[in-house]
Structure 1
């Protein structure tokens, strides 16, 4: 008698891939806005420039260009043989990195979610966003593609990571587990996180505590599942360094199985970087 052998785990591909995309600048218009929470605003952009838009990973980011005060449209850079070139006779437009939350190719609509924290060009613009207004979008330049086939996924971040975490959970199938640790200002910042996966969400309300300070202590009380897993974390720079160091040095996470990013840095502007050794 032949005994069937389950080869699904031995044959699955868990290789993380880096994919490059042609860099393109796009001028888009707002078609609608919606509050996902009191602190999180979804802005839907549309335009023919989105016809060849590609976003292959929840970890992607695009550069969003905002109009100067009093201007209708941002002054966009051009992509030349030597890279991105800005006009020398005009000020550079304010720009920040954001996650492509959802792209509808048929409707040529791109959703981007903005945290309304009350300062900075992005939050200020988003607070007054109306249909018909223009934004520039560049990229994504490339994608860091983490397979969904891992047995479990640990997703960690503050409210700036919610768009990426929400997108990732929507991508996961019913045959995997997801542990999610999210720090937000207060309870009304919590949002629905639909997924087919077996998801366990830990919401942390920081109140007056420093941003990101609750994440690493919370991880100390969480048991990781058996099997092959992958960790993704994003948020304030110092907090993400602490999270990564703890998971690698004390929990034994292989450095190849963790992706930690600084989405912002306390006291600095326009910071977006991957953290590694």
Structure 2
């Protein structure tokens, strides 16, 4: 039986496609670019959960329409400004678009269809991410109270993609340079006492491995969310596991 305050809530939205325009581009680090969009139809935009997904629709260099899933990094209702953080992979239509984005560029934002709100009042929160889901973790860390007990294990492609988060004695943030390094960290740790929630996202095989380790350690599947943001050898892949 779960504590009432730990129950999840699903909020559904009317699905809309919203034309947007690039307002500004910030180079977050060598491997990430944050693009801020604006547009009048963003007045009705909603994103209530840190791991919501929108469909980012754009035109690539060959003139083809491309659709990719992204997490809203932040949204300012008053100014109608929506930020998306892009990981700059060596190859990829979305990475190329973001790398070359400039104010005035056009795109379309569709969704999110819904938000599954994960309560903030758990005894502890475990966040496990590779670089593809780092923006979602960054948003979650910003939204959680500083006094919330959080363990974040994050894999990055290059050392200078580390970033500073608000610090507190209740937060443990560890960085790894490979999927295996994060798996090793998880195997070496013991889950904290109390009722906690584990969230993991990243490459498909990696997420499956992490989920299995957490289940072996006694994490209830009802208190865990695992999602594959990408899969080696495939494009435009997203799957809840």
Same fold (TM over 0.5): yes
Specify the alignment match of 1:122 in structure 2: 94
Question: How many angstroms does 1:171 deviate by?
Answer: 1.1
Q: Secondary structure at the match of 2:107?
A: strand
Query: Where does structure 1 differ by over 4 angstroms across 4 or more consecutive aligned residues?
Result: none
Question: How many angstroms does 1:197 deviate by?
Answer: 7.8
CA 1:196–1:100: 2 relative to 1, 3 Å: farther
* Contact in 2 for aligned 1:172/1:195 (Cα 8 Å): no
Specify the alignment match of 1:6 in structure 2: none
* Contact in 1 for aligned 2:158/2:177 (Cα 8 Å): yes
CA 1:233–1:121: 2 relative to 1, 3 Å: same
Larger radius of gyration: 1
Distance in structure 2 (CA, Å) of the matches to 1:41 and 1:197: 30
Specify the alignment match of 2:34 in structure 1: 42
Deviation per CA, 1:226-249: give whole Å up to 9, x if none. Answer: 21100001000000000001101x
* Contact in 2 for aligned 1:173/1:195 (Cα 8 Å): no
Question: How many angstroms does 1:68 deviate by?
Answer: 4.1
Specify the alignment match of 1:99 in structure 2: 71
Specify the alignment match of 1:218 in structure 2: 185
Aligned residues between the structures: 240
Q: What is the TM-score when the length of structure 1 is the normalising length?
A: 0.83
Question: How many angstroms does 1:189 deviate by?
Answer: 1.2
* Contact in 2 for aligned 1:45/1:111 (Cα 8 Å): yes
Give the unaligned 5+ runs of structure 2.
Answer: none
Specify the alignment match of 2:211 in structure 1: 244
* Contact in 2 for aligned 1:166/1:194 (Cα 8 Å): no
CA 1:187–1:69: 2 relative to 1, 3 Å: closer
Q: What is the TM-score when the length of structure 2 is the normalising length?
A: 0.95
Q: 2:14 aligns with which of 22, 42, 63?
A: 22
Deviation per CA, 1:17-66: give whole Å up to 9, x if none. Answer: 22211100001000111111110100000010100100010010100001
Specify the alignment match of 1:74 in structure 2: none
Per residue, is there more helix in 1 or in 2?
2
Give the unaligned 5+ runs of structure 1.
Answer: 1-9, 72-90, 207-211
Q: 2:53 aligns with which of 61, 82, 102?
A: 61
Q: Secondary structure at the match of 2:137?
A: helix
Map residues 137-216 of structure 1 onto 2, 5 A cutoff.
137-194=109-166, 198-206=170-178, 212-216=179-183
Residues 219-228 or 116-125, more deviating: 219-228
